[in-house]
Every structure is written in C-alpha cells, then in structure tokens.
Amino acid sequence: MLDEITQAVLAREEVAGYLRGGHGQSALQARERVYAYLDELRTTQRYPFYRALKHPLYPILRKIDRHVERIDIPRRAAAAGRVIYASNHRSHTDYLVEPLVLDDNGIRPPIIAAGINLFGGPLGLLHRHVTGAIPIRRNTKDPAYLLTLKAYVAELLRVHDLLFYIEGGRSYSGELKMPKTGLIHAAMQADRERLVIVPAAVAYDLVLEDRALARQGVKRRQRPFTQELAEMVGLAVGYRSRAFVAFGAPIPMSEYDPESRRDVLDLAHRTRQEIGRLYKVLPTALVAAAMSPSITRRDLEARVDSLLDELRAAGANLGVETGREATDEGIALFRKRRVIVYERGRYRVRERSVLRYYSRSIGHLLPSTSPRAH
C-alpha cells in the first residue's frame, strides 16, 4: 500500500507525464524507475525515538558545547508555516548539532537531506526509520531520479520541515563553497505561500575531522561512511569544541518563480550570502588566517587585530573582540592539537594544511589582500 506522500508524488502532472513512457523507454520501464527511486527516498521520522538518540550519542555530544544565536527566528517561522533550514556543512557532527539545537528549544526537528553514503547498514535503518533523513544522490544526472526527487521534496514539505546543506557536501578545503541549486529548485515546486528558507550557519572552534578533511583537500571520490566514522573515532580522543549555530532572517519562497532559472540562482546565492554573514568567526580561524610560518606573539596579535577591523567593516559575526583574546584562545587550541608549536620565542607552523583549512573558513568575509596562513 502506498503512503500519502508517494501517492501525491505519482499524481503530480510532471511525474504522471513521465510514467506514460517515451524517450526510448516503455511506460513499464518508466514506472519501475520512478518506483525504485521513491522506495529509496521514503523516510519516516519517529519523534520520541529521535529525542532518545541523545542518550547513546552522549559520548560524542558531551565533547561539543552547543551555543545558539537568534533561536527566536526559527521558533516564529515554525509557528507560522513550513520551514527549510539551509546551512553550511563543516562536519559529520552537523547532523547531530543542528537538529538538537532546535529540539533543545522545543522546535520540531526537520527531515534531513543527507548524502546517500550515510545510508549503509544499521546507520541507514536509523536514518530511514527514526531520525527522518532522505538519501541524496548528489552527482547523478538521471532525469528519472531528478524528477522523482523534486516531486518528493515538494510533497514532503507539505507535512515536514527540511534541513539541507547548500554546499552539497562538507567543505574539504575549509571555504564556504558555491551553492547547489537542486534542492532549492525542488523546494520551489512546493506550496510557496507559507514556506520560508531560514539560513543557518554552524561553526566550530575545532572540527572533529579537520586533519582528514585537510589532507584530502579536494574531494575526489566518495569514501564509505563506515570508513570515515572509524577515522573520526580515532580523532575524537582528547577532542573538545564549541559549536555555534546562528539563524538568519527568513527568506520568503513566494518572492521567487520556480520557472525562472535566474530566480533559482538568485535565491541560492542570496541564501549562501546570508549563511556567510551568520558564520561565527572564532579564534582558531583568526589565528590561522593571520599566522605565518614563524611569528612572534606581538606580531600575531597585531595581524589578528587588523583582521578584526576588516571583519567588523564587513559586518561579520565575531566571536572575539581583540587580537589578544583571539590569540590566547586560538593558540591554546592549536598547541593542544599540535598544529602550532612554540620554539625559541616564536610560534611555528607544524601542520600547514590544517591551518589553511581554518583560514579559508572566513575567506568569504575578507578581501583578497588580507593576510592568509602560509
């Protein structure tokens, strides 16, 4: 028996037209393809079980102190209608931190759009039947899949909120990547009158898998999540961090036309721009951006102060106010992680790729003439 969302998807004009066949395939072949993708996308969120997940995940969550800014925005938006949370993507821990920030404040948790690599084995069952996540094939160009995905997301938004990552996947270089438009365009097919995008930005003092991401640099292939998870367990030894989640003013979907390619792009870039402004500028990013291969404490503080002046002028969301404060906190974290060492009165870089990763996280807020980690 088909569930309500599946029935609604099959009844949509564009899907019904595809099911009639054509373009080198029979109606039966078209139907088999669409049904297979619908079965893959189908998900269920069991809210009481979702909340109970905090307890088995406590060993990870206790290492991350969650901080939230402007929580009143999603609270009002959720009370008024359906919400799409569009966020940057720093770490696999984002999937834990951002929904739990909402849940901690009594706001209904959204369905999460996640890469299909997260859906293998028992973890996949957890995503499908408890947390409520839909697997996304990010690089496919199969028209049957794209048609089905857009229709499914449009119907899903009638009964659920949605959280997706506008960059597509995690940033392997550390920078805020250009937006992907697929899910935004899919959401624009829904009832847009009471639907808004709430931009969200997540930032960490230290990203759990920073070394792994920095080594890879540019994503060349999708590794199995079980392999990444095993790596993260090793990186978690001695790890502690703060996570800052900030929400921005809602963007009404009704202002944009889904039939206009320009409107789709404008909405995607506007959302990314808002996410970039919300991103919390933390001491590790400032120290990384100001660092040179070898530098004195005095010179490092002066460079950080100069960066802070530029960031204030750009309207950045600052986590510290002075170069001294940023240097104290950032150096302490990097020395503990052995990214920077102190030798003969100077700070020296030990892991250049990791510093570049953090430096690039605020690159979207700075002009190209600003100092960068070497």
Q: Return the SS3 of 172.
A: coil
Tokens coding 160: 């659920």
Question: Does 237 score more than 90 pLDDT?
Answer: no
Residue 248 CA to residue 200 CA, distance in Å, equals: 6
Residue type, 86: A
Q: What is the pLDDT at residue 4?
A: 86
pLDDT tens per residue across span 59-91 = 666 789 999 999 999 999 999 999 999 999 999
β pairing state of 64-69 and 241-247: parallel
Question: Does 57 score more than 60 pLDDT?
Answer: no
Q: What is the pLDDT at residue 45?
A: 63
Report yes or no: 373 and 324 within 8 Å, Cβ to Cβ: no
Strand arrangement, sheet containing 294-295:
294-295, 346-349, 340-343
Residue 18 CA to residue 149 CA, distance in Å, equals: 13
Q: Which domains does the chain have, with CATH numbers?
A: 4-38 (no CATH), 43-278 (no CATH), 281-365 (1.10.10.10)
Please, how many CA atoms are within 13 Å of residue 56, restricted to the half-sphere of its CB? 6
Least confident of 35-49, 63-77, 133-147, 212-226: 212-226
- The per-residue pLDDT of the chain, averaged, comes to 87
Question: Does 235 score more than 80 pLDDT?
Answer: no
- In a 10 Å sphere around its CB, with 0-12 CB exposed, 13-18 middle and 19+ buried, how is residue 88 labelled? buried
Residue 98 CA to residue 226 CA, distance in Å, equals: 22
Q: What is the pLDDT at residue 87?
A: 98
Q: What is the pLDDT at residue 313?
A: 95
Least confident of 116-120, 285-289, 308-312, 327-331: 116-120
Q: What is the pLDDT at residue 307?
A: 97
β pairing state of 64-69 and 162-165: unpaired
Q: Determine what percent of the chain is predicted with pLDDT higher than 90.
A: 57
Q: What is the dihedral of CA 18, 24, 29, 31, to 10 degrees?
A: 0
Mean pLDDT across 204-228: 73
Q: What is the pLDDT at residue 84?
A: 97
pLDDT band (50, 70, 90) for residue 264: very high
Q: What is the pLDDT at residue 66?
A: 94
pLDDT tens per residue across span 142-188 = 889 999 999 999 999 998 999 999 998 888 899 999 999 999 999 99
Which stretches of 88-171 are assigned E, i.e. beta strand? 111-115, 133-136, 162-165
Residue 127 CA to residue 328 CA, distance in Å, equals: 40
Q: What is the pLDDT at residue 224?
A: 58
Q: Which residue has the higher pLDDT, 55 or 341?
A: 341
- In a 10 Å sphere around its CB, with 0-12 CB exposed, 13-18 middle and 19+ buried, how is residue 370 labelled? middle
Residue type, 311: L
Mean pLDDT across 99-111: 91
Give the best-scoring range by mean pLDDT among 149-163, 184-198, 270-284.
Answer: 270-284
Mean pLDDT across 122-141: 69
Comparing CA positions, the residue from 365, 87, 286 lying closest to residue 201 is 87
241's enclosing H/E stretch is strand 241-247
Question: Does 20 score more than 80 pLDDT?
Answer: yes
Mean pLDDT across 289-316: 96
Cross-strand bridge partners of residue 69: 246
Residue 73 CA to residue 47 CA, distance in Å, equals: 22
Tokens coding 147: 């048609």
Residue 320: φ, ψ to 5°: -140, 160
Q: What is the pLDDT at residue 115?
A: 80
Name 107's Cβ contacts closer than 8 Å, sequence gap at least 6. Answer: 71, 74, 75, 78
β pairing state of 340-343 and 346-349: antiparallel
DSSP code of residue 196: E
Residue 31 CA to residue 307 CA, distance in Å, equals: 57
Least confident of 112-126, 145-159, 304-318, 356-370: 112-126
Question: Does 346 score more than 80 pLDDT?
Answer: yes
Pinpoint the alpha helices (H) of the chain: 4-11, 13-19, 27-41, 47-52, 58-61, 72-80, 94-104, 121-129, 143-156, 182-187, 210-216, 225-235, 261-278, 283-290, 297-313, 323-336, 352-360
pLDDT band (50, 70, 90) for residue 218: very low
Q: What is the pLDDT at residue 373?
A: 46
Angle at 356 between CA 351 and CA 361, to 5 degrees: 135
Report yes or no: 281 and 316 within 8 Å, Cβ to Cβ: yes
